[in-house]
Structure 1
Amino acid sequence: MSAPRPAPVAQAPAARVVDAVKVYGGTARGAGTAVTALDGVSVDFPAGRFTAIMGPSGSGKSTLMHCAAGLDTLTSGSAFIGDTELGGLDDRRLTLLRRERIGFVFQAFNLVPTLTVAENISLPQDLAGRRGDRGDEQWTDALVDVVGLRDRLHHRPGELSGGQQQRVAVARALAGRPDVVFADEPTGNLDSRSGEEVLNLLGRAVRTMGRTVVMVTHDPVAAAHADDVVFLADGRLVGHLSDPTADGVLDRLKSLDRRGAPGRAEVPS
Structure 2
Amino acid sequence: MTVTTAPTKTPPAARVVDAVKVYGSGDTGVRALDGVSVDFPAGRFTAIMGPSGSGKSTLMHCAAGLDTLTEGASYIGDTDLGSLDDRRLTLLRRDRVGFVFQAFNLVPTLTVEENIRLPLDLAGGRGDPEWIDALIDVVGLRDRLRHRPAELSGGQQQRVAVARAFAGRPDVVFADEPTGNLDSRSGGEVLGLLGRTVRRTARTVVMVTHDPVAAAHADEVVFLADGRLVDRMENPTADRVLDRMKAFELPSQTDVPSRAETPSRTEVPS
Same fold (TM over 0.5): yes
The answer to whether residue 218 in structure 2 is matched with residue 226 in structure 1 is yes
Worse-superposed segment, 104-113 or 251-260: 251-260
- The residue type paired with residue 219 of structure 1 is D
Q: 2-side partners of 1:15 and 1:67: how far apart? A: 11
The equivalent residue for 1:183 is 175
1:128 Cα offset (Å): 1.7
SS in 2 for 1:250: helix
SS in 1 for 2:207: strand
Residue 54 of structure 2, aligned match among 52, 59, 62: 59
Residue 242 of structure 2, aligned match among 214, 238, 250: 250
Worse-superposed segment, 253-262 or 37-46: 253-262
Kept in 1, the 8 Å contact 2:116–2:167? The answer is yes
Residue 66 of structure 2, aligned match among 71, 91, 96: 71
The equivalent residue for 2:3 is none
1:207 Cα offset (Å): 1.1
The equivalent residue for 1:156 is 148
Unaligned runs of 5+ in 2: 1-7
The answer to whether residue 230 in structure 2 is matched with residue 238 in structure 1 is yes
Kept in 1, the 8 Å contact 2:138–2:197? The answer is no
- The residue type paired with residue 156 of structure 2 is Q
Residue 92 of structure 2, aligned match among 97, 103, 109: 97
Q: 1-side partners of 2:93 and 2:189: how far apart? A: 26
SS in 2 for 1:170: helix
Kept in 1, the 8 Å contact 2:136–2:163? The answer is yes
SS in 2 for 1:208: helix
SS in 2 for 1:17: strand
1:35 Cα offset (Å): 1.3
Structure of larger gyration radius: 2
SS in 1 for 2:13: strand
- The residue type paired with residue 268 of structure 1 is P
The answer to whether residue 5 in structure 2 is matched with residue 13 in structure 1 is no
Cα deviation 1:120-147 (Å, max 9, x = unaligned) = 100121122112x5xx111111111111
SS in 1 for 2:180: coil
The equivalent residue for 2:5 is none
Unaligned runs of 5+ in 1: 1-8
1:245 Cα offset (Å): 0.5
Q: Superposition pairs for residues 57-206 of structure 1, below 5 Å?
A: 57-131=52-126, 133=127, 136-206=128-198
1:261 Cα offset (Å): 4.4
The equivalent residue for 1:268 is 269
Worse-superposed segment, 250-259 or 44-53: 250-259
Q: 2-side partners of 1:177 and 1:261: how far apart? A: 45
Q: 1-side partners of 2:197 and 2:181: how far apart? A: 21
Cα deviation 1:146-170 (Å, max 9, x = unaligned) = 1111111111111111000000000
1:257 Cα offset (Å): 1.2
Q: 2-side partners of 1:86 and 1:102: how far apart? A: 12
> Normalising to structure 2: TM-score of the pair?
0.91
Q: 2-side partners of 1:147 and 1:207: how far apart? A: 13
- The residue type paired with residue 22 of structure 1 is K
Worse-superposed segment, 46-55 or 120-129: 120-129
1:10 Cα offset (Å): 4.5
1:11 Cα offset (Å): 2.2
Kindly, what percent of the aligned residue pairs are identical?
A: 79
Count of residues in Structure 1 that have an aligned counterpart in Structure 2 = 254
- The residue type paired with residue 94 of structure 1 is L
SS in 2 for 1:13: coil
- The residue type paired with residue 76 of structure 1 is E
Kept in 1, the 8 Å contact 2:49–2:222? The answer is yes
